[in-house]
Homo-oligomer: A and B are copies of this chain.
């Protein structure tokens, strides 16, 4: 168990580091190419039992496609840099080789002038599966408390 929580924490920190560094190609490779899902949901909708995600990718192709679109369409003019703080990592085994994961996410943005501010508060709820020595994402839900942010979907969370 202690190995697992450390491996899962390390996986999520790598996930955050790749996004912070805008290494989106490497980020997509954290998802299981055979079967994966990535969704951004508002906490409000989730609590009301409304299943519609703000954004959803239901295959590896969709994950890659969305990121490619972002890289071309948005990040050409976006200059703010993000720092993703992942904390409160919890996990427990599910099924044969799966691991259910929960964590908190707080994202800060810093402008070109070096002024930082709170950007986003969210929770990760995911399932990882074993792949060789490491893990891959079977599903990742990002449940956002901060759904009032216009530019929220300009970057993966």
Contact = CB atoms under 8 A, between A and B. Distances in A.
B116 A17 contact: no
A50 to B, nearest CB: 14
A42 to B, nearest CB: 7
A133 to B, nearest CB: 11
A154 B44 CA distance: 21
Q: How large is the interface on A (under 10, 10 to 19, 20 to 34, 35 or more residues)?
A: 35 or more
A88 B90 contact: no
A2 B147 CA distance: 36
Interface string A89-104: 1100000000000101
A3 B3 CA distance: 10
A123 B85 CA distance: 11
A7 B123 CA distance: 21
A110 B16 CA distance: 22
20 contacts: A2-B6, A5-B6, A5-B10, A13-B89, A43-B110, A44-B112, A85-B85, A85-B88, A86-B88, A106-B108, A108-B118, A108-B121, A108-B145, A110-B121, A114-B146, A114-B147, A114-B148, A114-B149, A116-B118, A116-B148
